[in-house]
């Protein structure tokens, strides 16, 4: 929690007040208690990142649809995304069901509310209850998580046809933020530059597009979801194995997480892939003296190729 | 197509008529052509079965929620199920997008419509177009697939708030059925008897419930989805390996698809599991002369235990 949250949630006195009330904790104390339950997780940012990444990827269903941009989802899919986040978040934190709301956290009912644009729609029945407000922006690779008790005063007037209302600009000041700019794991395909994206979209989905992905995107971690979305089929490892064979004549290597891969990635100053991810590069034999990082493969030294350097077939690697 | 469809789709004369019209085929001909495209798949029933099984299982998301009954889904999830079926069906048959409708099949625009109860809601914009009508009943393990051209005359009057209308009782006569009672792959957990279900629900989700599943359900194929739903976690094979160790003292064996499993399943007249499925049984040493099927494991013969026969530890099996 950042410093200015103290304006709205002063822990000391309220905690004391709550203690005095026994089983009827003060309402302010509830927010602190639930916030503390979450912030007690040392890997909290990674967990929320995984919740949003997983939810977005599952609903986009790239392996079947080739989609990687949440903006192209249909309305029913966007609506469902909120339910998916609720389910994935529940599983990620092992949360029980609340008495009236989605979750029970530290003995407090908490409702899950997800919104792509941070304009949470609050239903009438949430009034008086705590809401876990969640938003994810896939293009900027950031997410937001906050806690607030829903009161009339923090909501906009009016409401939509379902009698749901937004949190007003003034009301947002009442939110206790767990993350204002949490780091969302990048959506590789969404974040490609236009030239690379066009190069991908110029070949049809399948092995050819997977080849193109590893031919074009070098020195970056490429995850399983990017591969199955380019392939529009399951079994990313198989697609990667085939791409290795097909790109070897061009000098492109695709490093994984085991055998010779970590050593080669480390020596060439490439990102070192974890399980289920890969990193590609085009390599050429080291040209005598060079200031580029080198790696020995077999009997020869290699460097990452510079643009324009002539092709040289990749050496045999134990991937 | 069954015989009585001929009342509505007489191939001969209409085909002739279509041929005469060149690029403007008769409307009746379109239904036949699209139906023929589907029925040309020799594995059509299995494909549709897999489409519905996969869609239902993904939206119930048993691995995270423990749910196996589509009736407990939330409204947004039931709505989304239609979209999921559209996506999975498109992928299963490799269908292109239509000009105005979901699919393009044999040059004809076809809209996908799924309904759990076979009461398809037809939107205005589908009028004049072909609809692929799909329904699945998970409790009865059956599905329905039909094709119809939407015309005013086959719809009910009125309509819901979204101006969607049902196909009228009389209008259903116009449907060309591909499957009236297609065989949907069974939802094992949904189809358990009450005693067994209670035995499962009396232990908490996780390894204990997986153990209980294999302790209680014998002689039937148990698929990956049943295991991850009981476990409420991924990695079914690991849960099964652990269950084998934990149930061996009780004489329970859990056969898979490889090594000694197929031979033992065959000899004991148990169903022989395919990859990603298992079959359990409690076995005891064969009591001399017996009319039960026997199998040799190591140096001894075994039979499937009858209820009440004393426990005997399972022999070591190369699973």
Give the strand pairing for B222-223 and B277-285: antiparallel
CA distance B136 to B247: 36
Report the half-sphere exposure of A179 (CA within 13 A, side-chain side).
Answer: 24
Nearest by CB to residue A64, choosing from B77, B87, B232, is B87
CB A76 to CB B80 under 8 A?
A: yes
In tens, the pLDDT along A282-294 reads: 999 998 778 899 9
CA distance A130 to A36: 14
| Mean pLDDT within B38-62 | 97
Nearest by CB to residue B80, choosing from A65, A77, A91, is A77
Interface A:B, Cβ pairs < 8 A:
39
CA angle B58, B60, B65 (to 5 degrees): 115
User: What's the pTM value of the predicted model, to 2 decimals?
Assistant: 0.86
Confidence category of residue B14, pLDDT binned at 50, 70, 90: very low
Residue A64 near residue B91, CB atoms below 8 Å: yes
CA distance A127 to A132: 13
**Strands, E assignment, B139-215:** 142-149, 176-183
Q: Any idea what DSSP says for residue B155?
A: B
> Among A1-15, A168-182, B38-52, which stretch is predicted with the lowest mean pLDDT?
A1-15
| Mean pLDDT within A50-60 | 98
CB A83 to CB B65 under 8 A?
A: no
Confidence category of residue A13, pLDDT binned at 50, 70, 90: very low
Rounded to the nearest 10 degrees, the angle between the axes of helix A27-39 and helix A11-21 is: 110
Structure tokens of A305? Answer: 């190729």
Nearest by CB to residue B64, choosing from A64, A79, A88, is A88
pLDDT of residue A24: 40
Q: Which of B73, B81, B87, B92 best tests the A interface by mutation, with the highest count of A CBs <10 A?
A: B87
| Mean pLDDT within A193-214 | 95
CB A83 to CB B76 under 8 A?
A: yes
Nearest by CB to residue A87, choosing from B61, B87, B90, is B61
**Is A30 a residue whose pLDDT tops 80?**
yes
Residue B29 near residue B14, CB atoms below 8 Å: yes
**Is A209 a residue whose pLDDT tops 70?**
yes
Which is higher by pLDDT, B25 or B53? B53
From residue A157, alpha-carbon distances to A125, A146, A149, A153, B183 in Å are 16, 22, 17, 9, 52
Structure tokens of A15? Answer: 């905690």
Q: Which of B76, B114, B206, B231 best tests the A interface by mutation, with the highest count of A CBs <10 A?
A: B76
**Chain mean pLDDT for chain A:** 90
**Is A23 a residue whose pLDDT tops 70?**
no
CA distance B171 to B150: 9
**Is B12 a residue whose pLDDT tops 80?**
no
Q: Which of B194, B235, B191 is nearest to B69 (CA)?
A: B191
Nearest by CB to residue B87, choosing from A61, A83, A88, is A61
pLDDT of residue A2: 41
> Among A18-27, A46-55, A79-88, B100-109, which stretch is predicted with the lowest mean pLDDT?
A18-27
Instruction: State how far residue B80 is from chain A, nearest Cα, in angstroms.
Output: 6
Q: What percent of chain A has pLDDT over 70?
A: 91
Structure tokens of B318? Answer: 């190369």
Residue A213 near residue A227, CB atoms below 8 Å: yes
In tens, the pLDDT along A111-133 reads: 999 999 999 999 989 999 999 99
Q: Which of B84, B94, B95 best tests the A interface by mutation, with the highest count of A CBs <10 A?
A: B84
CB A232 to CB B87 under 8 A?
A: no
**Is A85 a residue whose pLDDT tops 70?**
yes
ipTM of this predicted structure: 0.84
């Amino acid at each position: 929690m950042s410093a200015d949250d103290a304006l709205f949630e002063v822990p000391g006195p309220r905690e004391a007040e709550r203690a005095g009330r026994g089983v009827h904790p003060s309402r302010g104390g509830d927010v602190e208690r639930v916030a503390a339950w979450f912030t007690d997780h040392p890997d909290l940012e990674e967990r929320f990142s995984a919740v949003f990444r997983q939810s977005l990827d599952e609903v986009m269903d790239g392996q079947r649809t080739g989609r990687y941009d949440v903006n192209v989802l249909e309305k029913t899919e966007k609506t469902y995304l909120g339910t998916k986040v609720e389910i994935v978040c529940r599983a990620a934190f092992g949360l029980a069901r609340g008495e009236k709301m989605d979750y029970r956290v530290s003995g407090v009912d908490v409702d899950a509310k997800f919104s792509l644009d941070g304009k949470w729609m609050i239903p009438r029945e949430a009034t008086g209850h705590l809401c876990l407000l969640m938003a994810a922006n896939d293009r900027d690779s950031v997410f937001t998580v906050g806690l607030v008790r829903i009161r009339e005063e923090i909501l906009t007037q009016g409401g939509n046809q379902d009698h749901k209302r937004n949190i007003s600009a003034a009301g947002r000041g009442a939110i206790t933020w767990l993350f204002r700019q949490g780091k969302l794991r990048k959506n590789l395909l969404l974040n490609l530059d236009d030239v690379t994206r066009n190069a991908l979209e110029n070949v049809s989905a399948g092995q050819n597009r997977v080849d193109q992905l590893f031919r074009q995107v070098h020195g970056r971690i490429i995850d399983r979801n990017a591969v199955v979305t380019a392939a529009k089929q399951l079994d990313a490892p198989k697609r990667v194995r085939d791409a290795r064979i097909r790109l070897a004549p061009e000098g492109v290597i695709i490093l994984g997480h085991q055998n010779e891969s970590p050593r080669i990635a480390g020596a060439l100053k490439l990102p070192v892939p974890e399980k289920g991810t890969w990193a590609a590069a085009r390599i050429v034999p080291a040209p005598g003296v060079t200031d580029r990082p080198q790696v020995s493969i077999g009997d020869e030294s290699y460097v990452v190729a510079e643009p324009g350097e002539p092709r040289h077939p990749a050496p045999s690697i134990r991937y």
